[in-house]
């Protein structure tokens, strides 16, 4: 007797259909599984046999063969238990074969026959919808996530017996998915109006967000660098539906999607600790999982204490920052994860953190230079805006909160600047000013005669590099966009110069 069941694996951010074939025929009693299986899938044999037994099904003394195909795809993950069990039951004739048509099954089962949740449900259901599969049978716990995709019938099952009953003809009754309300801590609104003082940093932040420029804050400990970084996602433009789905998929395959019953609405804010490994940052493992740069997709990756990160770790971000995605190549194939994030970094000016306040800072000049020099140059090259955040004084601390500008107001200005950019770059594939290639500088960052003369002076006076000069132009372009003017004026250039990266003399 033969049967076939459809299931799926997650492959990168996408999912692929896998078929499970079961055959029960005469021969020596053996339970054989083939089809390029990883060890957790091989273990399914023991789980399925015991679970079936505990649910009252006795396997006959026959030759049972399971095949998973296409055989060239490495099968990994724990979602194969349930389809294998169902395929065996169908092959034994316990379930009608036509009950399994146009149905996708995925789930892990315990020895008692309980169905356990799996990761990556969102991409699986999305793929099922594309493939025209009508019904997905999934673990009950995953129901919330699966329901995010409409147009597909979802059955959430708690145990094997319940499932066989449905497949034998019992009507499925819609179950209420589990919703876990966002805890107070998660839903806490972080708003720029919480920050007293630091007007310059806030302004620089606004410019950085408007042109999606990578951003570095330098300042003593306790000057509010982290607080500001946390509030950046709040002034980024709202996410489109596609962006929400994409980022939700990433969180789904990591098992990190909150069960709120909606796609992720808030742009991610990731702040990995500086002890993070290369794999943790870029993504890794035998079957690569997305790293922090992908979890920060469409949001903010915040690296606090930048010089403390291992240089080699930061180096891996270079290519993803250009390509806005990372490709991890493994024996089983290439895994592509999006990584389009805004880099926000913070650091102290020296070891003790108080330079240039010489009354507190006792670091030697050479030590300060060494400390600053720890940052990878190529990474620094990708940072357009740099600002010093000083310790705030008492007057600022006690200032009335109502005077501070709320995030919503800042966001409005940002969005106006973003739409100006979209207008300008329509059809070019560029989204933000920070992405303007050097060959197009003249087109997009055109300077008038007066401005050119002024920048020439500045170029010589500040001993700028070519790269540094272009960065200033791009930032000035963004500032002009925020200002709502097409022409870059001297005041825009001036402000951009003020935000330029720390002078070369400090990095050597």
The b/e string for 402-420 (b: 16+ C-beta within 10 A; e otherwise) is: eebeebeebbebbeebbeb
- Residues 133 and 151: their CA atoms lie apart, in Å, by 10
Outline where 65-175 has alpha helix (H).
81-91, 121-131, 143-146, 160-167
Nearer to other proteins, 325 or 405 (CB): 405
Shortest distance, position 292 Cβ to other proteins, whole Å: 27
β strands within 123-224, DSSP E:
135-139, 153-157, 215-218
The CB-of-116 to other proteins minimum distance in angstroms stands at: 53
Distance (Å) of CA 229 to CA 209, 280, 313: 11, 21, 21
Residue 202 vs 249, nearer CB to other proteins: 202
Question: In the bound complex, what is the minimum distance in angstroms from residue 8's beta carbon to other proteins?
Answer: 52
* Rounded CA separation 87/164 (Å): 11
CA pair distance 283, 289, nearest whole angstrom: 5
Tokens 């109006």 sit on residue: 193
| β-pair partners for 53 | none
Cβ-contact 384, 213 below 8 angstroms: yes
Q: Are the C-beta atoms of residues 336 and 327 closer than 8 Å to each other?
A: yes
For residue 302, the minimal CB distance to other proteins (Å) is 19
Q: Which is nearer to other proteins, 261 or 406 (CB)?
A: 406
d(CA 362, CA 218): 18
Closest distance of CB 453 from other proteins, Å: 12
CB-nearer residue toward other proteins: 293 or 346: 346
Length of the chain: 508
| Shortest distance in whole angstroms from residue 487 CB to other proteins | 15
**Residue 110 or 494 having the CB closest to other proteins:** 494
Residue numbers at the binding site for other proteins (CB under 8 A): 197-204, 218, 349, 355-359, 361-366, 386-390, 392-393, 395-396, 454, 457-458, 461, 479, 491, 493-495, 497-499, 502-503, 506
CB of 478 to other proteins, least distance (A): 12
Indicate the residue among 389 and 404 with the shorter CB distance to other proteins.
389
Q: Between 280 and 390, whose beta carbon lies closer to other proteins? A: 390
| Least distance in angstroms from the C-beta of 483 to other proteins | 9
**337 contacts: CB under 8 Å, gap ≥ 6:** 12, 13, 250, 283, 288, 290, 291, 294, 297, 325, 326, 328
Taking phi over 0 as left and psi of -120 to 50 as alpha, with beta for the rest, 69 belongs to beta
Residue 484 CB, shortest distance to other proteins, in Å, is: 13
Looking at the Cβ atoms of 293 and 387, the one nearer to other proteins is 387
CB closer to other proteins, 39 vs 359 = 359
**Which residues partner with 290 through β-bridges?**
283
Q: If you compute the radius of gyration of the chain from its CA atoms, what whole number of angstroms results?
A: 28
Minimum gap (Å) between residue 342 Cβ and other proteins: 20
Q: What is the 3-state secondary structure (H, E, C) of 249-280?
A: HHHHHCCCCCCCCCCCCCCCEECCCCCCCHHH
Q: Is 406 helix (H, G, I), strand (E, B) or coil?
A: coil
Whichever of 439 and 461 has its CB closer to other proteins, that residue is 461
Q: C-beta of 498: minimal distance to other proteins in Å?
A: 4
How distant is the alpha carbon of residue 44 from its chain centre?
Answer: 31
Q: How far is the CB of 201 from other proteins (least distance, A)?
A: 7
d(CA 232, CA 195): 12
**Residue (188 or 461) nearer to other proteins, CB:** 461
Question: Which CB, 345 or 493, lies closer to other proteins?
Answer: 493
């Amino acid at each position: 007797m033969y049967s076939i069941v459809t299931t799926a694996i997650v492959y990168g951010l996408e999912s692929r259909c896998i078929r499970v074939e079961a055959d029960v025929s005469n021969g020596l009693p053996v339970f054989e599984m083939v089809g390029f299986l990883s060890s957790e899938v091989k273990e399914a044999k023991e789980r399925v046999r015991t679970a079936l037994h505990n649910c009252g099904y006795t396997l006959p003394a026959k030759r049972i063969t399971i095949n998973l195909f296409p055989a060239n795809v490495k099968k990994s993950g724990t979602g194969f238990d349930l389809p294998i069990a169902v395929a065996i039951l169908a092959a034994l004739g316990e379930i009608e074969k036509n009950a399994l048509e146009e149905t996708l099954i995925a789930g892990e089962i315990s020895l008692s026959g309980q169905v356990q949740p799996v990761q990556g449900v969102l991409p699986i259901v999305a793929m099922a919808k594309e493939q025209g599969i009508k019904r997905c049978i999934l673990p009950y716990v995953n129901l919330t996530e699966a329901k995010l995709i409409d147009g597909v019938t979802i059955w959430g099952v708690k145990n094997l017996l319940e499932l066989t009953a449905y497949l034998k003809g019992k009507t499925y009754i819609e179950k209420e998915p589990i919703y876990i309300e966002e805890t107070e801590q998660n839903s806490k609104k972080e708003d720029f109006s919480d920050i007293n003082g630091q007007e310059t940093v806030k302004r620089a932040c606004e410019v950085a967000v408007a042109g999606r420029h990578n951003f570095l804050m330098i300042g003593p400990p306790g000057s509010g660098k982290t607080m500001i970084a946390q509030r950046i996602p709040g002034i980024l433009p709202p996410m489109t539906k596609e962006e929400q789905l994409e980022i939700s998929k990433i969180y789904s395959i990591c098992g990190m999607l909150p069960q709120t019953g909606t796609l992720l609405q808030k742009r991610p804010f990731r702040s990995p600790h500086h002890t993070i490994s290369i794999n943790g940052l870029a993504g890794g493992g035998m079957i690569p999982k997305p790293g922090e740069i992908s979890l920060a997709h469409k949001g903010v990756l915040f690296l606090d204490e930048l010089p403390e990160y291992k240089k080699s770790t930061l180096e891996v971000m270079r290519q993803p920052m250009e390509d806005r995605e990372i490709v991890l190549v493994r024996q089983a194939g290439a895994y592509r994860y999006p990584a389009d994030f805004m880099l926000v970094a913070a650091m102290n000016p020296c070891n003790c953190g108080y330079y240039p306040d010489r009354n507190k800072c006792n670091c030697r000049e050479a030590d300060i230079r060494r400390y600053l020099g720890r940052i990878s140059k190529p990474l620094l090259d990708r940072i357009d805006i740099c600002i010093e955040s000083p310790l705030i004084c008492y007057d600022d601390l006690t200032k009335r909160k109502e005077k501070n500008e709320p995030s919503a107001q800042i966001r409005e200005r940002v969005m106006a600047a973003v739409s100006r950019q979209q207008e300008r770059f329509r059809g070019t594939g560029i989204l933000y000013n920070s992405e303007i290639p050097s060959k197009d500088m003249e087109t997009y960052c055109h300077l008038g005669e007066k401005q050119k003369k002024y920048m020439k002076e500045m170029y010589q006076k500040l001993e700028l590099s070519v790269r540094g000069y272009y960065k200033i132009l791009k930032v000035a372009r963004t500032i002009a966009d925020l200002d709502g003017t097409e022409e870059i004026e001297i005041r825009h250039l001036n402000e951009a110069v003020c935000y330029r990266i720390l002078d070369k003399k400090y990095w050597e």
